[in-house]
Amino acid sequence: SVLLELFKQSGVKFDSELSTRLLIGICTDSGFFINPNAEPALKQGSFLIENGANYMERVIAPILHNQPLNLMKYHSLLVMKLRINKEKKFAYSITTAEEVKRLKLNKADVRLGPNYLEDIKEFDFIFTLAELDNEIKGSLRSRRGVDVSKIAEELGGGGHKLAAAFVLPKMPIEKAEKMVLEAIEKVGINKN
């Protein structure tokens, strides 16, 4: 979005290649036009398509319709291992180092996990923990107005109200789980 506006102001000519590359960024940043920033992203996406962006073949097909089997197995694992707090309407899933290794996941794969869980209607927010080589990666997501950035900040991380993350040093995964649950208790569930 920033580059698009900068290029417009600078008089850059938008050809098919530039428009497609910018559209990839806008689509992935806006969750393919479903995140809260969707309205400006839709306008920008429309501008880029009008200027030759190849939406179906170079954006949709290689990104959305091209998921590797190990990533789909990871998403299934997240759902199968879901731990639910019915009273506070949240859920979470933990992936161990052994599972990360077995599924041949990298840090980017692990970062996509919470996006798969965030649309489950029964929960106001979700979080994931993944045990990596030298750290524990935590991610939080909400589609129902819970400010998850406050929880992430309590754990030394940050982010947006509806999408935030944190990194914990290497420790037993049970200890990391306890830290996150304590942070949720301390901060509370702030809904807007």
38, 74 Cβ separation under 8 angstroms: no
pTM as predicted = 0.77
Whole-angstrom distance, CA of residue 166 vs CA of residue 98: 21
Is the pLDDT reported for residue 89 higher than 90?
A: yes
Q: For residue range 113-142, list pLDDT tens digits in order.
A: 888 888 888 999 999 999 998 999 999 999
Residue 37's pLDDT is 63
Tell me the backbone φ, ψ of residue 84, rounded to 5 degrees. Answer: -115, 135
175, 183 Cβ separation under 8 angstroms: no
Specify the higher pLDDT residue, 136 or 111: 136
